Amino acid sequence: MSESALKAEYDREGFVVVRNFLPPDELAELQANIDRYISEVVPGLPDSEAFYHDKARPETLKQLPRMGHDPYFASYLQPNRWQELAEELIGEPCTPKDPQWFNKPAGTEHPTPPHQDNFYFCFKPPNVLTMWLALDEVDAENGCLRYVPGSHKHGVRPHDQTSVLGFSQGIADYGLVEESQEVEVHASPGDVVIHHGDAIHRADANRSATRERRAFALVYQGESCQRDDDAFARYQASLQRQHTQMGLATK
């Protein structure tokens, strides 16, 4: 698809998929570094930097919210193809946030609640997007992303605190009508799914007994974004409440 067609789809739907975005050699290098980070770095991280479904079972590691302190992942913060594509879609110069890794370990009850990323970021204008790169085959069974097309055009909806570590806020009044409009996005390793900060999305738990559902993600913020400090303070307070309730010291 041409860049202009991709941008037209992004503007209309609030999300787009670029198949085979990462070539096999870059994908293998990325995966090897994620494996290294998990085996060598994660064991020394505080609770706020590595989320588990069950900390007593290391195989249930489900989220690494900030990987940019590692030199390999810091290299993703330099201008690259990811940033070029983000700037094309956002329509202005932008900067990346800390790289993240998401998993739904096989056989864990870990749904992603319906949410809008910009409820967490609190940016006006909402010129922010997330690039979510599949590292496994992803489909309905192992918890693919599901989007409500066009939902990015209607602002940020009220969110409530959830009990899901890593996704502390979910849309308060998400209903069956919206659920019936969802588009489920299947992806293969190297495909990148890109969504607008106001796009409503969610994912089911991984119902497979054996398949992981891993992804590497980068958020890009346009230069015009200004943080709404009051909204951000409310979000931070709610996040803190969730972590206190869960006995842990963050999204």
Ligand X SMILES: O=C(O)CCC(=O)C(=O)O
Amino acid at 120: Y
Instruction: Please give the DSSP secondary-structure letter assigned to residue 14.
Output: S
Residue 117 Cβ, how far from ligand X at the closest point, in Å? 5
Element (H, E) at 177: helix 176-181
Interaction of residue 206 with ligand X, rule CB under 6 A: no
Interaction pattern, residues 173-202, with ligand X; x per rule: CB under 6 A: ----------------------------x-
Cross-strand pairs, 170: 160
97 or 234, CB closer to ligand X? 97
Instruction: Please give the DSSP secondary-structure letter assigned to residue 140.
Output: T
CA 61 to chain centre: 16
CA 209 to chain centre: 23
40 or 163, CB closer to ligand X? 163
82 or 102, CB closer to ligand X? 102
Among 102, 147, 216, 235, binds ligand X (CB under 6 A): 102
Residue 137 Cβ, how far from ligand X at the closest point, in Å? 15
Interaction pattern, residues 109-148, with ligand X; x per rule: CB under 6 A: ---x----x------------x-x----------------
Among 203, 204, 218, 250, binds ligand X (CB under 6 A): 203
Residue 21 Cβ, how far from ligand X at the closest point, in Å? 15
Amino acid at 158: P
Site for ligand X in 214-243 (CB under 6 A): 215, 217
Exposed/middle/buried for residue 100 (C-beta within 10 Å: 0-12, 13-18, 19+): buried
5 or 153, CB closer to ligand X? 153
Whole-angstrom distance, CA of residue 132 vs CA of residue 145:
10
Show Cβ contacts of residue 129 under 8 Å, excluding neighbours closer than 6 positions.
10, 86, 89, 90, 194, 195, 196, 197, 219, 220
152 or 201, CB closer to ligand X? 201
Residue 225 Cβ, how far from ligand X at the closest point, in Å? 16
Whole-angstrom distance, CA of residue 15 vs CA of residue 195:
4
Q: Residue 139 has which token pair?
A: 């489909």
Whole-angstrom distance, CA of residue 219 vs CA of residue 115:
15
2 or 132, CB closer to ligand X? 132
Total Cβ atoms within 10 A of residue 118: 25
25 or 153, CB closer to ligand X? 153
Residue 2 Cβ, how far from ligand X at the closest point, in Å? 26
Which positions touch ligand X (CB under 6 A)?
102, 112, 117, 130, 132, 201, 203, 215, 217
